[in-house]
Amino acid sequence: GPPFVLESGGDLFAHGVYAHAPAAHLWKLGGKWEIVSGEAGLADSNRGSVVFSIHVDGEKKWNSRTVKAGERARYRVDLSGAAQIELRVEDAGDGKASDWGLWLNPVLTRK
């Protein structure tokens, strides 16, 4: 069959992570990565609103504005020496209905 794709803001993405608010995805990095970058948005056909954040070794390093349907936020965060990264998605204060957050085409760059 056709490959599974994620759709956000009318664009298709081959890679990503679903994260219905509230959600947190934690990965151990072992100090071997330098940068994480990509975009974050809502899955199309969902009318929620979310706030994305990236925490490195427990410290918030990036926070999006409130992201609504059809919008995306770009991120690029330094991971030098980091032991772990956590990707969080929270509702934007209006409840979690339709808050289907997507981390889109995330890329880890190695030293």
**pLDDT, tens digit, 9 for 90 and up, residues 12-63:** 999 999 999 999 999 999 999 999 999 999 999 888 999 999 999 999 999 9
Please spell the DSSP secondary structure of 19-88, one letter per residue: EESSEEEEEE-TT-EEEEEEEEEEPTT---EEEEEEEETTEEEEE---EETT-EEEEEEE-TT-SEEEEE
55-105: per-residue pLDDT in tens? 999 999 999 999 999 999 999 999 999 999 999 999 999 999 999 999 999
- Residue 3: is its pLDDT beyond 70? no
pLDDT given at position 111: 72
pLDDT given at position 33: 97
pLDDT given at position 2: 56
Do 82 and 33 contact (CB within 8 A), yes or no? yes
Neighbours of 76 (CB within 10 A): 12
- Model pTM score: 0.93
User: What is the C-alpha end-to-end distance of the chain, expressed in Å?
Assistant: 37
